[in-house]
C-alpha cells in the first residue's frame, strides 16, 4: 500500500519518538530528537526535518553515535563551560548545552558554552526558541563537515557552518535568524536530489569547480559561501570558535555523517546566552523591540513588495500553516520512514493527516 505524503505533525512526532525509543534511545532523549526534527519541518526547513531520521538511525545501528552516553561538563569557570557530548545524538547534546548556557547566564548575566564530541544537531532555531521562551538572547554556532570551498578554491574544506540568533519581543514576532554560511543549506540540495529537481544556478559547483544546476553533481562537488568572501570568512570564524577553541574537529577533521563510517563526527558547537534583565528590564526591552520591529515593517515598500518581514517571521507563519494543514513529505522520505517504522514496529500510517485533524487545530488557534 502506498501511503499518502501528508502527515499530522503531532502524530509524526510520536512516530519518530517511538522509532528512536525502540532503537535504544532513552525516552527523554527520543523526545528531544523527535521534537527537533518535527520543529524543523514545521518551520519549513525540510532539509533538517524527518528527512534526517534515516541517517540518524543508521549511525545508531552502526555504533557511530552513542545514544547511551551522557554529555558531561568537562570544565567550568565563572561564565564559561565546556561540554563533552561523548558522541551522543547532536540534538541531545545541544539541548543539554543550551540548558546549561541559559541557567548560567541567569546567574552570571552572560554565559558561553562550548561543545565538543557532538554530532549533527539539527536547526539552530530549535535552541534559539528555547532562549526566547526564557526571555533571553541566544547566539548559536556549529561547525560541520567539509562541503564548501574557501574563496579561491574549488575543493570543499569548511562546512556550511550555521549561525542562529534568537531575540524575544512583546506583541511582535521575535527576531529569529537561522542561516547557513553557504548560499543554501546543503540539506536543501539533498531534498532537491530526492525529488529529482534541479537547483538554481549559483548554489553550488561540481567536483571540477564548475557551476551546476544538477543536484547530484552539486552533492559530489561543493556548495558556495553566501556573499562570497564574506560568507567564507564568517564560516571560518565559526569553525575556529566551535572547533579549534573547544577541542572538537575543525576543517577536514569534522567527519561526514553520510560518508565516514569509521570515526565519530566530533562536531563542535558554541552557545552564547545573554540575560536581558542585566541591561534593561525585560518588559521595557520587549516594548522597545516591538517599536523597532513595527517601525521597520512600516518603512516604504519597494515596487511589487506587499510586506516587509523580519528574520523568522515566515517560519512562524509556516509553523501555524503546517500545524493546521499537515506536513507534506517527498515520496522517497515517506518510503524510508515506512521501512524504518516496520523495522522498529511503529506504524507510519497512523500519522497520516486527515482534514479532521486540521479543523481541530484551527479551532484551537482561533
In the block, cell 579549534 appears at 244
- Which pLDDT does position 195 carry in this prediction? 85
Q: Which CATH architecture has domain 1-62+313-366?
A: Orthogonal Bundle (1.10)
Looking at the chain, the whole-number percentage of residues with pLDDT higher than 70 is: 97
67-182+225-298 is a CATH 1.10.3720.10 domain: no
Q: Per-residue pLDDT for 363 more than 50?
A: no
Q: Per-residue pLDDT for 194 more than 90?
A: no
Distance CA 206, CA 190 (A): 14
Higher pLDDT: 137 or 191? It is 137
- Which pLDDT does position 357 carry in this prediction? 56
Catalytic residue among 18, 48, 120, 269: 120
Average pLDDT of the residues in 131-144:
98
pLDDT digits (tens, 9 = 90+) for 99-115: 999 999 999 999 999 99
Q: Which pTM value belongs to this model? A: 0.92
C-alpha cell at 182: 553557504
Per CATH, 1-62+313-366 and 67-182+225-298 having the same topology is answered no
- Which pLDDT does position 362 carry in this prediction? 45
The answer to whether 48 is a known catalytic residue is no
Average pLDDT of the residues in 139-143:
98
Indicate the average pLDDT of the chain: 94
- CA contacts within 13 A on the Cβ side of 47: 15
Q: Per-residue pLDDT for 189 more than 80?
A: yes
Q: What is the DSSP string of 127-138?
A: HHHHHHHTTEEE
Q: What is the DSSP string of 168-228?
A: --SSSPPEEEEE-SBSS-HHHHHHHHHHT----TTSEE-TTS-EE--HHHHHHSEE-BTTT
Distance CA 222, CA 184 (A): 11
CA 165 to chain centre: 12
pLDDT digits (tens, 9 = 90+) for 282-317: 999 999 999 999 999 999 999 999 999 999 999 999
In the block, cell 531520521 appears at 53
* Structural domain boundaries in the chain: 1-62+313-366, 67-182+225-298
Amino acid at each position: 500500500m502506498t501511503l499518502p505524503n501528508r502527515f499530522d505533525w503531532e502524530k509524526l512526532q510520536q512516530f519518530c519518538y517511538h522509532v528512536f525509543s525502540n532503537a535504544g534511545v532513552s525516552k527523554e532523549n527520543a523526545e528531544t530528537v523527535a521534537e527537533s526534527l518535527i520543529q524543523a519541518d514545521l518551520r519549513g526547513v525540510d532539509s533538517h526535518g524527518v528527512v534526517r531520521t534515516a541517517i540518524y538511525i543508521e549511525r545508531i545501528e552502526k555504533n557511530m553515535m552513542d545514544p547511551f552516553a551522557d554529555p558531561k561538563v568537562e570544565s567550568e569557570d565563572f561564565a564559561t563551560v565546556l561540554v563533552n557530548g561523548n558522541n551522543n545524538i547532536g540534538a541531545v547534546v545541544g539541548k543539554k548545552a543550551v540548558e546549561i548556557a541559559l541557567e548560567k547566564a541567569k546567574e552570571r548575566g552572560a554565559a558561553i558554552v562550548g561543545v565538543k564530541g557532538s554530532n549533527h544537531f539539527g536547526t539552530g532555531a530549535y535552541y534559539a526558541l528555547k532562549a526566547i521562551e526564557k526571555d533571553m538572547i541566544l547566539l548559536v554556532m556549529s561547525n560541520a563537515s567539509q562541503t564548501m570551498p574557501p574563496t579561491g578554491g574549488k575543493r570543499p574544506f569548511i562546512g556550511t557552518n550555521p549561525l542562529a540568533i534568537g531575540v524575544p519581543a512583546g506583541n511582535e514576532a521575535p527576531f529569529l535568524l537561522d542561516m547557513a554560511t553557504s548560499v543554501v543549506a546543503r540539506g536543501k540540495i539533498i531534498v532537491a536530489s530526492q525529488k529529482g529537481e534541479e537547483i538554481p544556478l549559483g548554489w553550488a559547483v561540481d567536483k571540477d569547480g564548475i557551476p551546476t544546476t544538477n543536484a547530484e553533481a552539486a552533492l559530489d562537488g561543493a556548495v558556495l559561501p553566501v556573499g562570497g568572501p564574506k560568507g567564507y570568512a564568517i564560516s571560518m570564524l565559526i569553525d575556529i570558535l566551535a572547533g579549534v577553541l573547544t577541542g572538537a574537529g575543525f576543517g577536514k577533521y569534522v567527519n561526514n555523517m553520510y560518508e565516514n563510517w569509521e570515526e565519530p563526527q566530533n562536531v563542535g558547537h558554541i552557545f552564547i546566552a545573554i540575560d536581558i534583565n542585566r541591561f534593561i528590564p525585560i518588559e521595557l526591552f520587549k516594548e522597545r523591540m516591538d517599536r523597532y520591529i513595527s517601525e521597520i515593517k512600516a518603512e516604504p515598500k519597494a515596487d511589487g513588495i506587499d510586506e516587509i518581514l523580519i528574520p523568522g517571521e515566515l517560519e512562524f507563519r509556516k509553523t501555524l500553516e503546517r500545524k493546521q494543514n499537515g506536513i507534506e513529505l517527498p515520496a522517497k522520505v515517506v518510503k524510508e520512514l515506512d521501512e524504518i517504522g516496520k523495522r522498529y514496529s511503529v506504524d507510519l500510517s497512523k500519522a497520516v493527516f486527515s482534514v479532521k485533524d486540521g479543523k481541530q487545530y484551527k479551532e484551537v488557534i482561533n
